[in-house]
Amino acid sequence: MAEVKLNAEMRTEFGKGAARRIRRANKVPAVLYGHGIDPIHITLPGHETLLALRTANALLSVDVDGRAQLALPKQVQRDPIKHTIEHVDLVLVRSGEKVTVDVGIHVEGEAAPNTIVVVDRASVALEAEATHIPTQIVVSIEGLQAGSQILAGDLSLPQGSALAVDSDVLIVNITQAQSEEAAEAELAEAEAELGIEPTVSEEPEAEAESTEESAESSEEA
């Protein structure tokens, strides 16, 4: 994963008011910590940081007072409405250092007909070198039959990466698609358990009333 360079500025103001002023200036308040150093409070350029953090586990080269330091995003706070970044926690890393990160699962291919693909885990925890974190783990389901399962131990991991979860953790499950008749029977059974009476159409009764009215009209005529 290529480094993304960000120029940071030391932050001397703190509190909600200071944070609002920083955001109004299109910057992001952040804190840099790790390796036993005291936390460093900084501001990052808003647009560049937003673009950089679109990639999960982005490796950042943060320049503070002319000194570049490698860091990974630990926690990103976003505005739920505007989707802007409000604050970032960055953890320092070194080249060759092993870190534990969650890497997204990307499913590709088509399973066998009449099956349902259930992705049980959207990501998996890996231990990888900080400078070689994979962007995603590709899982092929091409032609898999109902009853097939892909476990964490079945994943093809890039060199230098290792599982940080048990190998028997379920990632993808292929099940048999339910027929329409079976779905209707299951629904009826569930309704019966809940005491819901089956819906009876009133159209035949309405049709009978209409027929009787027609007959009476004919007799009167």
Structure tokens, 136: 């995603």
**Integer Cα distance of 135 and 18 in angstroms:** 35
**Integer Cα distance of 136 and 64 in angstroms:** 30
> Comparing C-alpha atoms, which of 148, 70, 145, 135 is closest to residue 106?
135
Element holding 215 (H helix, E strand): helix 203-220
Name the segment(s) of the chain with CATH classification 2.40.240.10.
4-93
pTM of the model: 0.72
Distance from CA of residue 56 to its chain's centroid?
A: 11
The CATH number of the structural domain formed by 99-176 is 2.170.120.20
Below-50 pLDDT ranges, the chain: 221
Name the segment(s) of the chain with CATH classification 2.170.120.20.
99-176
SS3 4: strand
Express each pLDDT in 130-173 by its tens digit: 999 999 999 999 999 999 999 999 999 998 899 999 999 999 99
DSSP 80-140: TTT--EEEEEEEE--TT-EEEEEEEEEEES-PPTTEEEEES-SEEEEEEETT---SEEEEE
Total residues belonging to the chain:
221
Instruction: Select from 3.30.230.10, 3.40.710.10, 2.40.160.100, 2.40.240.10 the CATH code of 4-93.
Output: 2.40.240.10
pLDDT at 20: 86
Beta-sheet pairing, 60-64 with 4-10: parallel
